[in-house]
Each structure stands twice: as structure tokens, then as C-alpha cells.
């Protein structure tokens, strides 16, 4: 999943980025409201961690604009301000959650997982994928209770397709989800095709993978 970290405190931004990277998220940092707007216009992020006190404006304005533009990213407000009115203001504008600084990184992660489950209507951390089970929190795929070994990117491709099951995801959408901003060299759909091929091979050792469909000329779909 992709995360935009909007935070002007460099130490905190770096700490968040490192932690989330280790948890398998692709992170981009914006240090000002202006940078945040540029990034949001450019990339469809899954999460935005939003500091309210930014050097060039209020984070709530960034949130309001993003909602007006119909962006689907989940917003988590991070702020030192204890004021109840900020919290209410953020939630009224459509933020998904709110964390007061200082907060613990595991707590942030737990909140992000809870948002993912809520958004995709999962009531348990495990999602059924045919005869497999996908554990989004522990980032594991299970078959008969045993872990099926997947690379970080293979897990990302599979979980994105499962969370958007029965919808066709283009190669570009999958690439942006996994790498965030497109690499300088541009977009190479072969990466995604290679990951899908590996997934079919690894999952196919255990069970049928007919549900992982290729939609010719467009992308892939998990028919579940």
C-alpha cells in the first residue's frame, strides 16, 4: 500500500517512513501543504498521514481540498494539538482517524489496519482467497494453516487484487500501488506480469488459481 506522509518535522517523517517501509508500505514524504497538493494530484495514495501544523498552511485545508476532489485515500490526522475542535474538524471533513502526538508506531499501524478492514468490509484480519487465507496484518498468505512463502511485492500485488476483488485492476494501478511514484525510467508493465506469473506458480502448487484472471490488454482481476 502507498502512503503519503505529510509532516514538516524531519525526524518524525523519517521515523514514520522507515517504520512503514519495514511494514511493506511504499512511502513518500511531503514537508509542506504545497508539496502535499502536488503529490496528491500526481499519485493515488492508499493512506495520507497528515500533520495539521504545516509551515505554509493548515493540514485541514489539504484534507478539505482532497475530499472535494473526490480522492479516495484514507486520511489519518497526526497532530500535537490537543484541541477537541481540531479533532472534530478533521473527522467532520472526512478523516478516517486521528492520533495525538506523541503516539506509538504500533498503534498507528493497528489503526491503519483497522481502516483497511473497515473500508473493505473485512471483519477479521483474515480474508478468504479461494482455499487460501490472506492475513493483511501479519502480511502472510496461508494454505491449510501453513504459510505460502511470497516476496514483499508478490504479497502487495495479491493483496491489492483481493481488496479490489472482482474489479479489473490495470497494470498502471498495480504499479502505482506498489511503487508509489513511478520510477524515473517510466512505467514497465513487465514487473507486474512477472509477479503475477510467480504468484500463479507458487499458489498453483497448492490449489487451482483460475480465479486470478488476466484481462487481455488491460490488467488483472481476482474473481472471488
Classify residue 217 as left (phi > 0), alpha (psi -120 to 50) or beta.
Answer: left
Instruction: Compute the least distance from the CB of residue 183 to Ca ion, in Å.
Output: 30
Instruction: Compute the least distance from the CB of residue 16 to Ca ion, in Å.
Output: 13
Give how far the C-alpha of residue 31 lies from the chain's centroid of Cα atoms, to the nearest Å: 20
d(CA 4, CA 187): 20
Instruction: Compute the least distance from the CB of residue 103 to Ca ion, in Å.
Output: 14
Stretch that binds Ca ion, among 3-11, 136-144, 150-158, 162-170 (CB under 5 A): 3-11
- Give 28 or 159: the residue with its C-beta nearer to Ca ion: 28
How many helical (H) and strand (E) elements, i.e. helices and strands, does the chain have? 8, 14
Cell triple for residue 45? Answer: 495514495
Residue nearest to Ca ion (CB): 53
Phi, psi of 180 (to 5 degrees): 70, -125
- Give 59 or 180: the residue with its C-beta nearer to Ca ion: 59
Residues 6 or more apart from 55 whose CB is under 8 A from it? 8, 31, 32
The length of the chain, given as a count of residues: 224
If binding is defined by CB under 5 A, does position 86 make contact with Ca ion?
Answer: no
If binding is defined by CB under 5 A, does position 44 make contact with Ca ion?
Answer: no
Near Ca ion by CB under 5 A: residue from 1, 2, 3, 8: 8
Instruction: Compute the least distance from the CB of residue 131 to Ca ion, in Å.
Output: 47
Near Ca ion by CB under 5 A: residue from 3, 4, 16, 51: 51
Stretch that binds Ca ion, among 49-57, 113-121, 194-202, 208-216 (CB under 5 A): 49-57
Burial class (CB in 10 A: 0-12, 13-18, 19+), 162: buried
# binding residues, Ca ion (CB under 5 A): 3
- Give 53 or 89: the residue with its C-beta nearer to Ca ion: 53
Instruction: Compute the least distance from the CB of residue 51 to Ca ion, in Å.
Output: 4
Residues 6 or more apart from 72 whose CB is under 8 A from it? 44
- Give 35 or 135: the residue with its C-beta nearer to Ca ion: 35
d(CA 98, CA 78): 6
- Give 101 or 197: the residue with its C-beta nearer to Ca ion: 101
Cell triple for residue 124? Answer: 477479521
* Contact between residue 141 and residue 155 where contact means Cβ atoms under 8 Å apart: yes
Instruction: Compute the least distance from the CB of residue 109 to Ca ion, in Å.
Output: 21
If binding is defined by CB under 5 A, does position 53 make contact with Ca ion?
Answer: yes
d(CA 179, CA 169): 15
Query: Which residues make up the interface to Ca ion (CB under 5 A)?
Result: 8, 51, 53
Amino acid at each position: 500500500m502507498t502512503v503519503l506522509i505529510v509532516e514538516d518535522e524531519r525526524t518524525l517523517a523519517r521515523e514514520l517512513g522507515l517504520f512503514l517501509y519495514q511494514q511493506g508500505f511504499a512511502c513518500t514524504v511531503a514537508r509542506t501543504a504545497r508539496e502535499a497538493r502536488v503529490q496528491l494530484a500526481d499519485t493515488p495514495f492508499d493512506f495520507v498521514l497528515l500533520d495539521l501544523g504545516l509551515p505554509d498552511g493548515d493540514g485541514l485545508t489539504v484534507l478539505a481540498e482532497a475530499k472535494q476532489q473526490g480522492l479516495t485515500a484514507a486520511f489519518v490526522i497526526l497532530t500535537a494539538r490537543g484541541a477537541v475542535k481540531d479533532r472534530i474538524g478533521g473527522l467532520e471533513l472526512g478523516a478516517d482517524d486521528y492520533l495525538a502526538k506523541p503516539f506509538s508506531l504500533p498503534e498507528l499501524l493497528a489503526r491503519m489496519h483497522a481502516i483497511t478492514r473497515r473500508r473493505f468490509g473485512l471483519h477479521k484480519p483474515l480474508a478468504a482467497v479461494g482455499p487460501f487465507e490472506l492475513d493483511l496484518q501479519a502480511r502472510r498468505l496461508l494454505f491449510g494453516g501453513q504459510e505460502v512463502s511470497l516476496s514483499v511485492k508478490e504479497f502487495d500485488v495479491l493483496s491489492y487484487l483481493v481488496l479490489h476483488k472482482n474489479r479489473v485492476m490495470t497494470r498502471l494501478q498495480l504499479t502505482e500501488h506498489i511503487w508509489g511514484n513511478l520510477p524515473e525510467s517510466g512505467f514497465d508493465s513487465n514487473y507486474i506480469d512477472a509477479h503475477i506469473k510467480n504468484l500463479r506458480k507458487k499458489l498453483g502448487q497448492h490449489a487451482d488459481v483460475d480465479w486470478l484472471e488476466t484481462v487481455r490488454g488491460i490488467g488483472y482481476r481476482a474473481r472471488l
